[in-house]
Chain A
Amino acid sequence: MRGEEFYRGVSRYISIYSAATGVEALAVARGMKQALTRFANNAIHQNVSIERTTLSVLGLKDNKLAVVNTERFDEEGVEEAFERLKEVLAVSKPLDYQFRFPWPKVVPSYTVYDEKTAKASPDYRAEVVEGFIKRAAKDEAEAFGYFSTGEEELSVMSSNGNFLYHLGSFADLNLVVTRNDGSGYASWAGISVDGANFEEIAELAVSTALKSRNPVEVDPGEYTVVLSPEAVADALTLFAWIACNGKAFEEKTSPAVKYLGKQVSQLPVNIVDDPSYKGVVPIPFDLFGHPRGRFVIVEEGHFARLTYSHAAALKYGKEPTGHTFSLNSVEDSFPVNLVFEPGDVPFERLLKSVDRGIYITRFHYTNVVDPMELVITGMTRDGTFLIEGGELTKPIKNMRFNFGFFELLSNVEMVSEESKSVSSEYGLAIVAPYVKVHKFRFTSKSDH
């Protein structure tokens, strides 16, 4: 990583060339060193290390915006970036609302850096992977997955004097274990490898694989289901993407048009975006330097708030919420530290309460079918079980589902007191509990 002092130097160039060109600017520097060990069929098959640093400069002149992305941080590189900005701004068109950059803000700091994780060696990752492989082999099973470690730095600097710097470590993994036609899964994400219980992760994936062999078919239809934290996190990502963006609400292209301000769950469910929550990989400020704190989206079952980017807030007369994460799409916003807060029911009791239903280990390839109702389709995978009399009695073949996310929220019966930090498909750590839901709709079945 290049470090805070390095970026302070870059911020001076930003100020110099902003003054020289008359282009107001906000620059975002991102550096990442990521190492990832990937394994399949009980062997490492891919092992990579990537180091990359980028500088994005958002220029403003005559109420017109343009972006230049470069990897040059020296004075000449910054000067060239401003020259390009000038060129593009000359042909661009002004925005239809008055734009301005934010004034510098005070940002809370979170302790987020763990050196052991940031600098983890290939040997360390191989040892963890070896543990997974040995545990799988002990039961004549095979392990597949990845284990990633690294560090990331983010600096926001602007021509009006803002300067912020954040350095964080991260780690995440997933593990699929198969034996014959059985398959199991576990995942984890966090800021320190010390927070992961690798033995427990391996045990869960292996035991699920063993239990899910010789699956039987059940007919599609409506069932009570118990969703694992991984499945909850998957659905939560699509909710955040489709339903939480204030811009889409203002344009009337979001399910929030129908559901914002309504009681969407009979239970006091809380869905929050919170960089201070244990288990997330925190991002303390957004790309415009707005501080990020606990932001409650669904409060006690009530769909309470939407995210507004800096630009969308200016456009629609709202307060920015600290959720701008793209300089190429400054009006859009997204919550990056998602948490579905735990309830008060022990998982064992939650499971026992299901007389007949289906347990879902993981969703696969989810997508939105109808954005206005947030209808989500996808498949189950890596361990789907029939629940009878509060016990997982039989593995079943994978099923396709189509459910409305708000219908699901209104059908939540119980939320477990246990929650997990899981690795989501989009590479973000999400904290989620087990959830019991009735009338979950399966529409077809698979051959495996």
Chain B
Amino acid sequence: MRDRLKEVLDFLDSAGAEYFDLRYESIDEEEIAVENAVVKSYSIDQTQGVGVRVLYDGAWGFSATNRLSKDALLKAAKEALDIARTSARLKKEKIVLSSEEVYKDTYRSEFVIDPFTVEKEKKVELLVEATALMKKVPEVVRAEGELRFRKIKKLFLSSEGAEIDQEVVVSGGLIRAHAAGNGDYQVRSYPAGLEGDNATRGWEFIEEMSLLENAERVAGEARDLLYADVAPSGEYDLVIGGSQMALQIHESCGHPAELDRVLGYEISFAGGSFMTLDKIGSFRYGSPIVNITADATIPGGLGTFGYDDEGVRAQKSFIVKDGILVGYLMSRETAVKLGLSSNGAARAHGWWSIPIIRMTNINLLPGTSSFEELIGGVKEGFYIDTNKSWSIDDKRVNFQFATEVAYEIKNGKLGRLYKNFVYWGKTPEFWGSCDAIGNESLWHVWGVMNCGKGQPLQIMHVGHGTAPARFRKVKVGVRS
């Protein structure tokens, strides 16, 4: 394949393209879904293909194919070139790429046990047992368990001489109890909502989740939610658990910090951003204890890699420092507009996608509080966790999120369970009310598999390092 790609590079070079890169990807995937102790789906996927990106006369063209003969690859390269020529007709200014170091390197994500070597039966048995335990609760109508494993191999070659081999292994999963009764339907997930928790780690990550040990508790909480009171409306102090904090950071900091959004490239689909260029260095995003980084180097983070899909080395940079907006997520094309180098955030969903700016691991750095101190500092409020619903406006300001569980806090003590908890607010005011963040022992990097962006839609896996955090006077309930 390497030799074939080099022939394509030679062709593009002779065609006069000013910059081009080729990205071969091979993705092996294994997904197991068990429902009520019955295997609902066991799927094994394999895909491989090549994406060709060409910059010609200051404009992009991209073509991707999973036909891997030399002729098919040359056809894709010609198509990318033709598309770039057409794009050049409707450009305002020539695209210029930031100057970056060129690497010839190899990167392998770290793991202890390759999940593809673990017996299939063991994976099935784990989920069958976990869902059978959940199903012991009569109100649980659907007990779900999922495991997924991915091995992504990439070869990146560019006209600048880059030659980067990468191999990243992803493991993840969850259990979820759906309970019906008392005229209601409620869901409880573990260790997180949506697609659970995921990491660039091996089978050991699944073992550390302790799915079996949590199955009965999760099912019991789903049942308890059926009989719980609906959460009240009003203004309350909140302690937000780690997995819900991941969603909060994702929607209200990660997405608005994408420089392509700031520059308007996403307006027609996901929208723009309130983090406009004039705000950099001076805008108070949150309280002084709020520090948020983009860090693709955290071991095991789902947004961790060696190099992004433009060949820029993984790195760490601040988005918010001491509560002030200080940086963006950038690609080569966008960084240069600010006179900066890329911070390595150009990523593609797969060989079939063009790299666009994506989150890596976007993290709220830990504070100093223990969990008891976070709860102890609340006279009247709620401890909430696990995302259930999310929505935010097209500038990423007005948000409304809902969680699976809410526990009352009265005079610094956790109390009864409430259901259907919804909170809402405006991003800078919300983060401005953050007065305590959990310490390092509470900090965890959550892996989110399903971040959607771009047209055609690209689904990216990203990470969020968070600890529980406390916020004052947050609006709760949709009718308030």
List chain A positions with a Cβ less than 8 A from chain B. 34-54, 64-72, 84, 87-88, 91-96, 121-123, 125-126, 129-130, 133, 142, 144-146, 148, 174-176, 178, 251-254, 327-331, 364-372, 375, 377-379, 381, 398, 400, 402, 427, 443-448
Q: Which of B38, B91, B269, B393 contacts A400 (CB 8 A)?
A: B393
**Interface pair A42/B67, CB less than 8 Å apart:** no
CB of A69, distance to nearest CB on chain B (Å)? 4
Bound together, the chains give a CA A41 to CA B90 distance in angstroms of 11
Interface string of B122-133 (1 = CB under 8 A from A): 001000100000
Bound together, the chains give a CA A92 to CA B31 distance in angstroms of 13
* B residues 39-79 in Cβ contact with A at 8 Å: 39-49, 59-67, 76, 79
**Interface pair A253/B178, CB less than 8 Å apart:** yes
Closest B residue by C-beta to A328: B41
CB of A422, distance to nearest CB on chain B (Å)? 14
Closest B residue by C-beta to A143: B268
**Interface pair B397/A446, CB less than 8 Å apart:** yes
* In the assembled complex, B379 has its CB within 8 A of some CB on chain A: no
**Interface pair A96/B128, CB less than 8 Å apart:** no
CB of B17, distance to nearest CB on chain A (Å)? 14
Bound together, the chains give a CA A366 to CA B389 distance in angstroms of 10
Chain B contacts for A144, CB-based, 8 A: 264, 267-268
Most A CB contacts (10 A, CB to CB) among B46, B121, B263, B479 go to B46
Chain B contacts for A92, CB-based, 8 A: 39, 42, 124
Not counting A444-B398, A445-B398, a sample of 17 additional A-B residue pairs whose C-beta atoms are within 8 angstroms of each other reads A38-B268, A38-B455, A40-B268, A44-B91, A45-B265, A47-B83, A50-B65, A65-B41, A68-B44, A88-B44, A92-B39, A93-B128, A366-B391, A367-B389, A443-B400, A446-B398, A448-B395
List chain B positions with a Cβ less than 8 A from chain A. 31, 33-34, 36-49, 59-67, 76, 79-80, 82-84, 86-87, 89-93, 119-121, 124, 128, 141-142, 178, 180, 184-185, 263-269, 271, 352-354, 356, 389-395, 397-398, 400, 402, 420, 422, 424, 426, 455-457, 475, 478-479
Chain B contacts for A379, CB-based, 8 A: 391-394, 398
**Interface pair A51/B67, CB less than 8 Å apart:** yes
Chain A contacts for B456, CB-based, 8 A: 34, 36, 48, 50, 148
**Interface pair A365/B391, CB less than 8 Å apart:** yes
Q: Which of B34, B180, B395 contacts A253 (CB 8 A)?
A: B180
**Interface pair B66/A364, CB less than 8 Å apart:** no
**Interface pair A91/B90, CB less than 8 Å apart:** no
Q: Which of A45, A64, A176, A329 contacts B39 (CB 8 A)?
A: A64
CB of A138, distance to nearest CB on chain B (Å)? 16
Closest A residue by C-beta to B267: A144
**Interface pair A39/B478, CB less than 8 Å apart:** no
**Interface pair A328/B268, CB less than 8 Å apart:** no
**Interface pair B91/A43, CB less than 8 Å apart:** yes
Bound together, the chains give a CA A142 to CA B48 distance in angstroms of 38
Closest A residue by C-beta to B75: A51
Bound together, the chains give a CA A146 to CA B80 distance in angstroms of 18
Q: Which of A54, A69, A175, A254 contacts B44 (CB 8 A)?
A: A69
**Interface pair B393/A91, CB less than 8 Å apart:** no
**Interface pair B63/A49, CB less than 8 Å apart:** yes
Chain A contacts for B92, CB-based, 8 A: 41-43
Bound together, the chains give a CA A49 to CA B11 distance in angstroms of 19
CB of B416, distance to nearest CB on chain A (Å)? 20
**Interface pair B400/A377, CB less than 8 Å apart:** yes
**Interface pair A443/B393, CB less than 8 Å apart:** no
**Interface pair B83/A377, CB less than 8 Å apart:** no
**Interface pair B46/A130, CB less than 8 Å apart:** no
Most A CB contacts (10 A, CB to CB) among B124, B394, B479 go to B394
CB of A374, distance to nearest CB on chain B (Å)? 12
CB of A93, distance to nearest CB on chain B (Å)? 5
Closest B residue by C-beta to A41: B264
Most B CB contacts (10 A, CB to CB) among A91, A133, A375 go to A91
Q: Which of B185, B268, B352, B402 contacts A252 (CB 8 A)?
A: B185
Closest B residue by C-beta to A133: B90
Q: 14 A-B Cβ contacts within 8 A?
A: A40-B263, A40-B267, A46-B354, A66-B43, A70-B46, A93-B124, A95-B39, A126-B87, A252-B141, A252-B180, A367-B389, A367-B391, A369-B402, A446-B395
Bound together, the chains give a CA A96 to CA B391 distance in angstroms of 37
Q: Would A367 and B393 be within 8 Å (CB), given that A44-B59, A84-B44 are in contact? A: no
Chain A contacts for B394, CB-based, 8 A: 364-365, 379, 381, 398
CB of A74, distance to nearest CB on chain B (Å)? 12
Bound together, the chains give a CA A253 to CA B222 distance in angstroms of 13
CB of B96, distance to nearest CB on chain A (Å)? 13
Chain A contacts for B61, CB-based, 8 A: 47-48, 122
Chain B contacts for A36, CB-based, 8 A: 455-456
**Interface pair A88/B42, CB less than 8 Å apart:** yes
Chain B contacts for A44, CB-based, 8 A: 59, 86-87, 89-91
**Interface pair A446/B389, CB less than 8 Å apart:** no
Closest A residue by C-beta to B79: A49
**Interface pair B478/A329, CB less than 8 Å apart:** no
Q: Would A369 and B141 be within 8 Å (CB), given that A93-B37, A364-B394 are in contact? A: no
CB of B107, distance to nearest CB on chain A (Å)? 25
CB of B231, distance to nearest CB on chain A (Å)? 12
**Interface pair A88/B120, CB less than 8 Å apart:** yes
**Interface pair A69/B46, CB less than 8 Å apart:** yes
Chain A contacts for B124, CB-based, 8 A: 91-93
Chain A contacts for B79, CB-based, 8 A: 49
**Interface pair A122/B478, CB less than 8 Å apart:** no
Bound together, the chains give a CA A65 to CA B185 distance in angstroms of 28
Most A CB contacts (10 A, CB to CB) among B185, B390, B402 go to B185
Bound together, the chains give a CA A299 to CA B64 distance in angstroms of 44
CB of A72, distance to nearest CB on chain B (Å)? 8
CB of B265, distance to nearest CB on chain A (Å)? 5
**Interface pair B393/A398, CB less than 8 Å apart:** yes
Closest A residue by C-beta to B141: A251
CB of A223, distance to nearest CB on chain B (Å)? 15
Q: Which of A50, A65, A367, A368 contacts B352 (CB 8 A)?
A: A50
**Interface pair A329/B264, CB less than 8 Å apart:** no
**Interface pair B43/A69, CB less than 8 Å apart:** yes
Bound together, the chains give a CA A142 to CA B272 distance in angstroms of 14
Chain A contacts for B389, CB-based, 8 A: 367-369, 377
Closest A residue by C-beta to B84: A47
Bound together, the chains give a CA A366 to CA B264 distance in angstroms of 21
Bound together, the chains give a CA A38 to CA B44 distance in angstroms of 33
Closest A residue by C-beta to B266: A40
Bound together, the chains give a CA A251 to CA B394 distance in angstroms of 35
CB of B305, distance to nearest CB on chain A (Å)? 22
Q: Would A52 and B352 be within 8 Å (CB), given that A66-B42, A175-B268 are in contact? A: yes
Chain B contacts for A446, CB-based, 8 A: 393, 395, 397-398
Bound together, the chains give a CA A369 to CA B403 distance in angstroms of 10
- 8 closest A-B pairs by CB: A122-B86, A67-B43, A69-B45, A252-B180, A91-B121, A43-B92, A145-B268, A144-B268
**Interface pair B457/A427, CB less than 8 Å apart:** yes
Bound together, the chains give a CA A91 to CA B120 distance in angstroms of 7
CB of B419, distance to nearest CB on chain A (Å)? 10
Closest B residue by C-beta to A376: B391
CB of B242, distance to nearest CB on chain A (Å)? 21
Bound together, the chains give a CA A95 to CA B63 distance in angstroms of 42
